[in-house]
Structure 1
Amino acid sequence: MLVWINGAFGAGKSSVTEEVTRAVGEVIVFDPEEVGFHLRTWVPLPASQDFQDLACWRDVVGQTCAAFERHYPSRLLLVPMTVVNDDYRREIFDIIHQSTDDVLHVWLSATRQTLTDRITRQVVWPDDPERDAEVRAWRLAQIDGAMTAERRLGADTVLLPTDDTSPRRLAERILSEAGRRTGRDSRP
């Protein structure tokens, strides 16, 4: 099963992914952001400077997820990635659904204050304070778009509030939902 862990920056995607990995053990964690980092060195970025606006990023991400599902069907595939553009998410998921229907889309939700606090405290580039400040400012600027995207989510998404819930508890809820959908117990 593929579990796409979505949500705003600061919602807890990385922490929850670590907890699911710790609980299950043999998982594949695929970070589509790494694909974007590589594409930045290979192809010109669009005017937005956002690699998600590259059709090839969406295609590579969808194809990679589908390939992992085909070649490692017994492993849980975790994909922690913020995608707030509904068309982009559909495009990626349409590619994945050509290989599997076992897809769980999870949205980690948090209040604006929680997101702001978490992003402000997070250090991404400890050895480069200027770059760290730029990343922090960019992530803070993305909160509104993520909150708007959250209001558009459909019934195919599991919404999990993270403000007062530990990453471990969120991981348990994700594994429980994955087990319910597949008929297999995904919990340890």
Structure 2
Amino acid sequence: MTRTEKPLLVWINGPFGAGKSTVTDELSRAAGEVIVFDPEEVGFHLRTWVPLPASGDFQDLACWRDVVGQTCAAFARHYPSRLLLVPMTVVNDDYRQEIFDIIRKSTDQVLHVWLSVTRQTLADRITHQVIWPDDPERDAEVRAWRLAQIDGAMTAESRLGADTVVLPTDDTRPRQLAERILAEAARRTGKA
């Protein structure tokens, strides 16, 4: 799949450590013309511009959700022939719905994918992943934070609706996951 008549957005969701970035890289190689938009970057910038909420989580900022939704919608409007890939963990159902409502003003083609992983596999992946190789203290902080997010992600997965494509990742290679996502995208856009 290299082009679509309707702009298609693929939101790749799931716990930290599920493989969102790796699957996004595989999708980018396989799909051709894509735009990869990382909403986390918006959060990093907002931290320098506005005060964070008491939670310290930029997703709790209404302006983060608005900017992310508006940016996705703008990409869909201005680059309709490109597949838009958005790898981002959002476990708050209301926040996800708020963002998707904004996006759907520009395209009704939103494919929500959840990368599912067992608790043990997830804990193992997070424990062995190195995010900040040159800063062991920061790396340990990020690891501890990610491990603390596992319960919330598991609970979020149990609430997913029929509009979400759930893909188990424990024993599936990233390339296979990318192929499944592309097949679902093609089916939804009539390119199957």
- TM-score, scaled to structure 1: 0.97
Equivalences, count: 185
Q: SS state of the match for residue 84, structure 1? A: coil
Is 1:172 the equivalent of 2:159? no
Within 5 Å, give how 1:112-131 maps onto structure 2: 112-131=119-138
- What is the match of residue 44 of structure 1? 51
What's the offset of the Cα at 1:164?
0.2
Segments of structure 1 that go 5 or more residues without pairing to the other structure are none
Deviations 1:29-49 (A, max 9, x none): 000000000000000000000
What's the offset of the Cα at 1:13?
0.3
Deviations 1:116-147 (A, max 9, x none): 01111111111110000000000000000000
Q: SS state of the match for residue 159, structure 1? A: strand
What's the offset of the Cα at 1:180?
0.0
Deviations 1:56-81 (A, max 9, x none): 00000000000000000000000000
Segments of structure 2 that go 5 or more residues without pairing to the other structure are 1-7
- What is the match of residue 13 of structure 1? 20
Q: 2:38 pairs with 28, 31, 34, which one?
A: 31
- What is the match of residue 191 of structure 2? 184
Deviations 1:83-123 (A, max 9, x none): 00000000000000011101000000000011001111111
Structure 1 runs, 4 residues or longer, greater than 3 Å off: none
What's the offset of the Cα at 1:184?
1.9
Give distance in 1, aligned partners of 2:56 and 2:164.
28
- What is the match of residue 76 of structure 1? 83
Give distance in 2, aligned partners of 1:177 and 1:148.
25
- What is the match of residue 55 of structure 1? 62
Alignment RMSD (CA, Å): 0.6
- TM-score, scaled to structure 2: 0.95
- What is the match of residue 102 of structure 1? 109
- What is the match of residue 3 of structure 2? none
Give distance in 2, aligned partners of 1:3 and 1:91.
16
What's the offset of the Cα at 1:25?
2.5
Give distance in 2, aligned partners of 1:9 and 1:144.
11
State the percentage of identical aligned residues: 86
